[in-house]
């Protein structure tokens, strides 16, 4: 072959300038790729990086916007009707290896049509990829073409794909408010929503872990001596936390064979409520049912005032100023002393 060669196929010009490394189709710079290897690799890479949903939208948006350029170019050729432009475009695409496309039921007034596409390069790539359904580059591409020709946004509906075992891919086209920009925005919002939901799930899981840890650490059961356990009350107790304290304490007292339960109130918040005071009566009464006596230590002046002003009766419990005093008292009641 000469360094500069040109052929004409179906009235279309194909030209090679080997010294410059150029291939021209209708005097426009073009490139040639093997469909089932190089182009397949290109599509595979996009899908691998972007994911199936995002890559599908990439192909659709790209196909539509490229088609729109073609349609607008032919729409400017006023001497060519829409039907003639459609035939010219499909013939041009056939000569460029895009497969054979036949336009049926073209209704200029209603701006509707049906396209039958057979053996397109997209179909061949999908076959090489082992896919069971067709792609949306070419369906969207022709939507872009006719959007340009009609001067109105067109969209599509694929009735069936060739790759599904049909003779051809059949696509209906019609005016629509659906746009590739809207689809991109919807995908972005959906992805953002999915990310937010995933973050919320992580936060909920971490929050539960922290809540469980707080429950474990906030009111630990400490066996100080045989038969004596201490439960320090820390912070503020709402209904849920109070119930958790009662359940955990009563559940574990038998395993320690506790004769005395010392509730250390030193770490309670200053904003003590009636609920906190009633909690002391509740846990002490419940402990007595399983044979454990309750001792209160570290009662603050705020708590003592609250108790005195309420109807809660804690006189049945022995009370001491410090934890040390409470432990010594319990030991004495058990006939023991520290030597």
Question: Residue 283 above 80 pLDDT?
Answer: yes
CATH of the domain at 285: 3.30.750.24
Using CA atoms, how far apart are residues 229 and 257, in angstroms rounded to an integer? 9
The values of phi and psi at residue 233, to 5°, are -95, 125
* 163 and 255 share one domain: no
Band of pLDDT at residue 273, cut at 50, 70 and 90: low
Average pLDDT, the chain: 86
* 142 and 269 share one domain: no
Using CA atoms, how far apart are residues 73 and 96, in angstroms rounded to an integer? 18
Question: Residue 304 above 90 pLDDT?
Answer: no
pTM for this predicted structure: 0.58
* 162 and 284 share one domain: no
- The reply to whether 10 falls in a domain is no
The pLDDT value given to residue 105:
95
- The reply to whether 214 falls in a domain is no
- The reply to whether 232 falls in a domain is yes
Mean pLDDT of 199-210: 77
Task: Give the structural domain span for 288.
Answer: 219-333
Band of pLDDT at residue 339, cut at 50, 70 and 90: low
Q: E strands within the chain?
A: 4-9, 12-17, 22-25, 28-30, 100-107, 112-118, 154-160, 169-175, 222-225, 228-232, 260-264, 293-297, 318-320
- The reply to whether 106 falls in a domain is yes
- The reply to whether 9 falls in a domain is no
Convert the pLDDT of each residue in 311-330 to its tens digit: 777 788 899 989 999 999 99
CATH of the domain at 115: 3.30.1380.20
- The reply to whether 12 falls in a domain is no
* 328 and 230 share one domain: yes
Of the ranges 18-32, 73-87, 115-129, 198-212, the best mean pLDDT one: 115-129
* 47 and 166 share one domain: yes
* 159 and 230 share one domain: no
- The reply to whether 7 falls in a domain is no
Give how many domains the chain has, as a whole number.
Answer: 2
> Of 9-18, 69-78, 179-188, where does mean pLDDT reach its minimum?
179-188
């Amino acid at each position: 072959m000469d360094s500069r060669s040109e052929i004409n196929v179906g009235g279309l010009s194909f030209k090679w300038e080997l010294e410059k490394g150029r291939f021209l189709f209708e005097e426009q710079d073009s490139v040639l790729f093997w469909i089932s290897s190089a182009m397949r690799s290109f599509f595979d890479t996009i899908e691998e990086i972007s994911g199936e949903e995002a890559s599908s939208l990439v192909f659709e948006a790209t196909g539509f916007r490229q088609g729109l350029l073609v349609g607008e170019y032919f729409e400017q050729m006023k001497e060519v009707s829409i039907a003639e432009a459609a035939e010219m475009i499909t013939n041009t695409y056939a000569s460029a290896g895009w497969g054979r496309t036949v336009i049926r039921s073209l209704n200029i007034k209603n701006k509707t049509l049906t396209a039958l596409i057979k053996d397109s390069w997209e179909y061949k790539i999908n076959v090489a990829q082992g896919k069971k359904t067709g792609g949306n580059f070419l369906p969207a591409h022709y939507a872009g073409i006719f959007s340009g020709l009609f001067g109105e946004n067109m969209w599509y509906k694929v009735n069936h794909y060739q790759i599904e075992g049909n003779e051809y891919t059949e696509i209906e086209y019609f005016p629509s408010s659906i746009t590739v920009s809207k689809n991109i925005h919807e995908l972005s919002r959906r992805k953002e929503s999915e990310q937010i939901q995933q973050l919320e799930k992580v936060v909920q899981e971490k929050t539960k872990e922290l809540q469980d840890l707080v429950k474990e650490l906030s009111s630990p059961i400490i066996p100080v001596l045989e038969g004596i356990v201490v439960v320090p009350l820390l912070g503020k107790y709402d209904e849920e936390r109070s119930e958790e304290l009662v359940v955990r304490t009563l559940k574990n007292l038998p395993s320690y064979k506790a004769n005395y339960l010392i509730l250390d109130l030193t770490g309670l918040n200053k904003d003590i409520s009636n609920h906190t005071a009633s909690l002391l009566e509740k846990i002490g009464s419940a402990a007595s049912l399983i044979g454990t006596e309750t001792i209160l230590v570290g009662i603050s002046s705020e708590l003592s005032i609250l108790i005195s002003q309420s109807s809660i009766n804690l006189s049945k419990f022995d009370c001491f100023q410090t934890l040390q005093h409470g432990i010594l008292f319990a030991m004495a009641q058990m006939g023991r002393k520290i030597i």
